[in-house]
Structures are given as C-alpha cells and as structure tokens.
Amino acid sequence: MKKLTILFALLVTLSAAIAQPFEGKIVYQNQYKSKLPNVTDQQFTLMMGDKQDYFIKGSHFKINANGTFFQWQVYVPKDNKLYNKMASSESLLWIDAAVNPDEVIKAEVKKGVLNVLGYTCDEVTLTCKSGMQKYYFNTKLKVDPKLFANFKYGNFYEYLSRAQALPLKMTIETPQFVLESMATEVKPMTLEDKFFALPQGVKLEKSPF
C-alpha cells in the first residue's frame, strides 16, 4: 500500500511538471526579406534586429531586440496592449492587442515536420489576408492559450489556440517583408514580475502604424 501511495504521488508530480507552462527565455535569429523596392533585406534586418530575446511568464512577455529602429516590446495583460520602444521616439508606442486588421482564411496542422534544437516540431500554417504564416512548435514549450484569448493582433491567438506552445521557428509574410525566425537557444528560468513592468514616468502614445 505504501509503495502504491509513493507511486501515485510520483505520477501526480510528473503530470504537474509536464503540464507546467514554459517560463524563461528563447533566443531567435531573424532575417528579413524585403518586398519594398526602396528597402533592402539588409536594411530591414538592421532596423528590426537580427536577434531577439523573448521572455515569457504566464500571460506576460517581453522582447529585447538589437535593431537600430525596433528596440523592445512588452505585453501588459491587464491593458491587453503591446508597448513598443522605437529608437526614433522617447515615448512608448502602444497597440491594442484586441484589434487585428488581418484575417485568417485557412489553418492547417502537420505533425513531425522538422527538428529544431533537438525538439521535434509540428507545423501550423495560417493562410491570411496579409500572406502566409508558418509556425513550428513542440508542446514541451507549453503556453495556456486561454491567457491570450483577447490577443487577436498578428493572429497570435489563432496560432496559440492550435499549437498551445511557443514557436521554435517562424516564417511570417506581410505586405512589406517576409520574416524568417529560428530559435538558437531555449533557457527555462524564473522571472520576476517586475521584469515585465514598464519604465516609471515614461510617456505613452498610440502607435501610428
């Protein structure tokens, strides 16, 4: 009886560990392919950054980039807004995450498509008004999609509702460019809530784009 009790406790612990959402950092290497005649691939990549550090804890996330134009982004769940820091502005430019100018026309899921950093990845393909979006994910990097049910911008919830995990590779097409993003590091870590806080006293403005 004692052995069965210990075994049951172990199974409960393992189940909880498996179901635990991912908390930590994913490092992405980015490359942009321009669709604009007056902007080169290199210029887009330089402006937006060829490297991004993506941090997540529950419904909070933050992106640090090495772009000359785009510097960082924070999602604040209670506001349901994305706050973006651009080099050209002292203010944070916010976007309402409930608003999505795009539309998903068709969604497809394929199993076991490729391997990234030792993770066997399934594929979600979203055919959108803006172009094709492909995401490659492994369920070990779990995210609870209910936390982002109101996050419509960029088709984020459309993706999460199907994958329920963070992507390890992405191909995102827009009218301006195609983004190829590949994870180069996955690092589970404990993050403090204050890490996702906006700087005190910073001016906030609605994003013009």
Digit-coded pLDDT (tens) for 105-155:
999 999 999 999 999 999 999 999 999 999 999 999 999 999 999 999 999
The parent domain of residue 57 ranges over 21-184
Contact at 8 Å (CB) between 176 and 47? no
Q: What is the pLDDT of residues 61-76, one digit of tens each?
A: 999 999 999 999 999 9
Per-residue pLDDT at 7 exceeds 90:
no
Contact at 8 Å (CB) between 102 and 157? no
CA distance 184 to 29: 7
What is the SS3 assignment for the chain? CHHHHHHHHHHHHHHHHHHCCCCEEEEEEEEEEECCCCCCHHHHHHHHCCEEEEEEECCEEEEEECCCCEEEEEEECCCCEEEEEECCCCCEEEEECCCCCCCEEEEEEEEEEEEECCEEEEEEEEEECCEEEEEEEEEEEECCHHHHCCCCHHHHHHHHHHHCEEEEEEEEECCCEEEEEEEEEEEECCCCHHHHCCCCCCCEEECCC
Residue 13, in any domain of the structure:
no
Model confidence at 10, pLDDT cuts 50, 70, 90, reads: very low
Residue 131, in any domain of the structure:
yes
Residue 11, in any domain of the structure:
no
Question: How high is the pLDDT of residue 19?
Answer: 57
Mean pLDDT of 6-33: 69
Residue 43, in any domain of the structure:
yes
- Tokens, residue 2: 């004692």
Q: What is the CATH number of the domain that holds 175?
A: 2.50.20
**What does pTM read for this prediction?**
0.89
Residue 82, in any domain of the structure:
yes
Closest CA to 57 of 43, 79, 80, 74: 74
Number of compact structural domains in the chain? 1
Residue 201, in any domain of the structure:
no
Contact at 8 Å (CB) between 155 and 104? yes
Question: How high is the pLDDT of residue 17?
Answer: 43
Residue 192, in any domain of the structure:
no
Mean pLDDT of 70-97: 96
Distances (CA, A) of 130 to 94, 100, 127, 172, 175: 21, 11, 8, 9, 6
Residue 77, in any domain of the structure:
yes
- Tokens, residue 204: 């906030």
Question: How high is the pLDDT of residue 20?
Answer: 83
Q: What is the pLDDT of residues 154-205, one digit of tens each?
A: 999 999 999 999 999 999 999 999 999 999 999 999 999 999 999 999 999 9
Question: How high is the pLDDT of residue 5?
Answer: 42
Model confidence at 2, pLDDT cuts 50, 70, 90, reads: very low
Model confidence at 57, pLDDT cuts 50, 70, 90, reads: very high
Question: How high is the pLDDT of residue 13?
Answer: 39
Per-residue pLDDT at 39 exceeds 50:
yes
